[in-house]
Structure 1
Amino acid sequence: MIHCICESYSPLSITCSYCLLPFILFLSSYKWCFNMASSSEPLAKGTYAPSGPNDIRGPCPMINTLANHGYLPRNGRNVRVEEVLAGMDAIGLSKPLGAAFANPIFQERAPSKFHDDPVVKKSFLQSILQTIKDPWSVLGRFGMRKPGQLDSEGNRVLNLDQLGLPNTVEHDISLTRRDHQQGDNISLQKDLVEDFLASSKDGQTLTANDLAEFRKKRIARQREDNPGLQYGSFEHDLACAEIALILNVIGTGDSVPCSYARAFLQEERLPIQEGWKREESRLGIIGLLTKRNGIKKIIGMEFKS
């Protein structure tokens, strides 16, 4: 017969906490080990997890959001163009528009005062051959990849902080970042997000008019705060296209709920739990340009090239 050591060799009682203690400890340790094993499993693509202290992020909320949902490498390193294309597809951009966003930035970056890459001069013939081989090379001014930056399999790759290279796609007067001349054009600035959300007239939704007014205020503010501001017609086109993207991808086209905008801009998260769903009809190049031109018209400001 089995006896309990704490009851003077009386028959074992399943209600005795001392008898059960080793068994409880065993189960706890087994559960802990099981949880540790489960937590080491990679998160499913589409599942949100904020970036960690060792992860790399860039200045673009959309790209950061794709990384936080696992459409791009969650650590923000060695991102391939195919992954960016798949991410653009996942949020509802047409394949041509996704390609227009992704392919140019994977070109080798042009000479600039913002980096010390060796200058590689190409002859006219070499440039022609390069264009035939890769037609996207004609948009080399948007390139952000270091010369020869490839992964172990020979694929062109980028780290997300490279998207902060000034005067490419990254530009002054961002919606949520400071200008490069102000010291940090990559880190999210929560005060700018709050200003963005406060531009809603009803506190519930942000309309195209609200966002156009916010853009005008940002322009006026940065003209005062940044003496070295670079913001001409090209940068204004990009800035208005960004507003158009927010309205059409995160919102309904004409407006975006403030709760959606907060999730997207502050947490860099798709606002799925707030009710967001990807639109059935995809946003294409013509649709984006049409909305961008509408934003420009509302703002009503002209800039030099």
Structure 2
Amino acid sequence: MEFSLLKITVNGYITTQARRIGSYYFSVTDYIPATQLRGALLAEYYYQKGKIDQGFYASPAFPLDSAPSHYFSPAEGRKSSDFVEVRGVLTEKGKELESGSHLKDVLRLDDEMKPTIGVIIKRKEGKDVNRYSRFTAESFISMHVAIDKVLASSYHKMLFAYEFKKFDTLWALARPSEVIDVVKSGKIRLGRGKNRTNSMARVDVVGEVDLPEPQGLSYCLSQCVPSLLGKRLFDVGKVDGKSVIIGSTSTYVGWFTSDKVSGQKPSFRTLTEGTLVLVREKGEYDKVLPAGLNFMFGIEDLGSLLQKVKA
């Protein structure tokens, strides 16, 4: 499947997906969610063209040379920040599943290896295997007080705190379209609070990249859903009578606004980034790409993906 490969230069602090605890808003991801990036790209497109491309989609944006970890790229110990992956492991494990191997045998790892799914890991040099280190964005907390515009005084209990995370350069995938042609080599606004931090980011198109569609044991770069609102999007294969989904779940949250309905905020459970799925039939998995879902690929291993999207 063809994508435009984007290089996004932030070189500053922005907010990512936020979680509210009291009056504190914490940025809970060390990457830019797909819905946030798509919204920023479409906003700039709308400012210039006065229209919206509803079919446009963009993947999450990750720091260069990084992506979410999966089950077969485990940490080298319970408290280790170093991760390791056998080259070609996803292809090999997919063949084992297809040949009728028991699931527990396919999932067996060395005792010291601790799989952590969905952690952002950054590629580093490795000779015989793919090696990674955990990426954690630097952050700071900014405090703000709400002011009554009439009385020019602060509201009671209206002190808010926001966590901002620092990013340098990130990569992302997007649909080749007029949106990219208009926005490329320009700037977009990311995160909240345009007067509080330097939230402007530069978008460059590095080139086009062709990635394999989901087939066999496939990797979720974004959150994934086999079905939504009663509609089957893709079929999950079974081994030992169980659907083969190797990962965990998370909550999808995104704002949607149309000409007739505004401010809709659906929330539902999804498979988290880094989950592996045995795809039996890909069906219409790509129907929800504009929602930032089902960026799934039938890759050999994570290292091969990062090599292809090297910006």
**TM-score when scaled to structure 1?**
0.25
- Compare CA radii of gyration and give the structure with the larger one: 1
- Higher RCO (CA < 8 A, seq sep 6+): 2
User: Where is the strand percentage greater, Structure 1 or Structure 2?
Assistant: 2
The normalised TM-score by structure 2 is 0.25
Structure with bigger helix share is: 1
